[in-house]
Amino acid sequence: MHQELGKIWQNCGISNEWGKLKSVLLHRPGAELQASVDPDSVQMLEKLDIQKASAQHDSIADAYRSAGVQVNYVDPPITPDPNQMFVADLLLMTPEGAIVGRPASTIRAGEERWIARRLAEMGIPIIRTISGNGTFEGADALWIDPQTLLLGRGLRTNAAGIAQLSGLLNPMGIDTVVVDLPYGTMHLMGMLRIVDRDLAIAWPERLAISAVQLLRKKGYAVQFIPDEKEAVFGFALNVVTLAPRKILMAGGNPITQKFYENLGITCVTVNVDELAKATGSIGCLTGVLHRLNI
């Protein structure tokens, strides 16, 4: 089916985390953030200033466009649920098209229908929607190489969801490797990012040793973030790779940014402190639709 992408279907798909980023899917937050007046009820940290959050989201989109990335929007026809902007959780792109996720949180149930609607409108094939007792959020998946997908099993992605993913991907020649996440952590994305074909950035004491061993076996150097405070409060590890050793990251993290730059990584920064009050940052906000397979 991958041979039909760019012909019958829209050009899309990924099988790595570091190739040149070509296309993303975003949801610009708006009136739905009024629900953050009671942050606990919508799994947020504080009440958000809607105008400021929307402006910061626009800055992320502008940074993508400046990097030559096509920006697409979900554009639900109604006011969506307040966490709709965290698009990364709601899909996983494969070499043959999209897998639509199924959020574990009842607060987020149904957000994926707007993702499916937009993907269909864009001509991107949906090859599976997680169903039944399965839950899966895209932030729990990372491509190690074109034949290996790392999956985090934890609060958001369960064994039933992983079984559905494995059953779909294995016939494509893709192995799924599962690691358990520490209790209380959200996603695999929060503890591991891949920034080049041979460089991964991880959070020490959070990422399972089996994942580190797998990465090293696959030829990655694994570097560990230097400042936990910036990771927790500044979302310094919640980055998106724009191209090999070039990332989009949250501003205001000088220690971590210097660490990245010393590794030869070019850092593009945007201010996302208001958006971070919703318990997420740039990586969480970005649904990756297409990367070059280099």
What is the pLDDT at residue 95?
95
Beta bridge partners of 180: 153
Average of pLDDT values for 61-69? 98
Banded pLDDT at 14 (limits 50, 70, 90):
very high
Helix (H, G, I), strand (E, B) or coil at 152: strand
Q: Are 25 and 287 in contact (CB under 8 A)?
A: yes
- Please state which CATH class domain 2-291 belongs to: alpha beta
Q: How many residues does the chain have?
A: 294
Cα separation, 291 vs 264, in Å, equals 21
Whole-angstrom Cα distance, residue 164 to residue 144?
Answer: 19
pLDDT at residue 237, rounded to an integer: 97
CA distances from 266 to 108, 211, 247, 263 (A): 34, 25, 6, 9
Average pLDDT across the chain, whole number: 96
Q: What is the pLDDT of residues 81-93, one digit of tens each?
A: 999 999 999 999 9
Q: Confidence band (pLDDT; 50, 70, 90) for 1? A: confident
| CA–CA distance, 72 with 243 (Å, rounded to integer) | 19
Q: How confident is the model at residue 152 (pLDDT cuts 50, 70, 90)?
A: very high
Spatial neighbors of 181 by CB under 8 A, at least 6 apart, are 140, 152, 153, 154, 155, 187, 188, 191, 208
Whether residue 130 has pLDDT greater than 90: yes
pLDDT grade for 274, boundaries at 50, 70 and 90: very high
The token duo for 41 is: 């009820």
Please, which pLDDT band fits residue 142 given cuts at 50, 70 and 90? very high
pLDDT of 58 over the 90 cut: yes
Residue 57 has pLDDT above 80, yes or no: yes
Going by the DSSP 8-state scheme, the letter that residue 20 receives in this structure is P
Closest CA relative to residue 272, chosen from 227, 238, 224, 225: 238
What is the sign, positive or negative, of the torsion defined by CA atoms of 176, 14, 180, 204? Answer: positive
pLDDT tens, position by position, 168-197: 999 999 999 999 999 888 899 999 999 999
Give the integer Cα–Cα distance in Å for 246 and 239: 10
Percentage of the chain beyond pLDDT 90 is: 96
- What phi and psi values does residue 225 have, to the nearest 5 degrees? -55, 145
pLDDT, position 74: 98
Determine the average pLDDT of the residues in 201-208.
94
Distances (CA, A) of 189 to 64, 74, 94, 265, 276: 19, 21, 17, 19, 15
What number is the average pLDDT over the span 141-163? 97
Give me the pLDDT at residue 189, please: 95
Q: What is the pTM of this model?
A: 0.96
Alpha-carbon gap, residue 122 to 10, rounded angstroms:
7
Average pLDDT over residues 204-214: 94
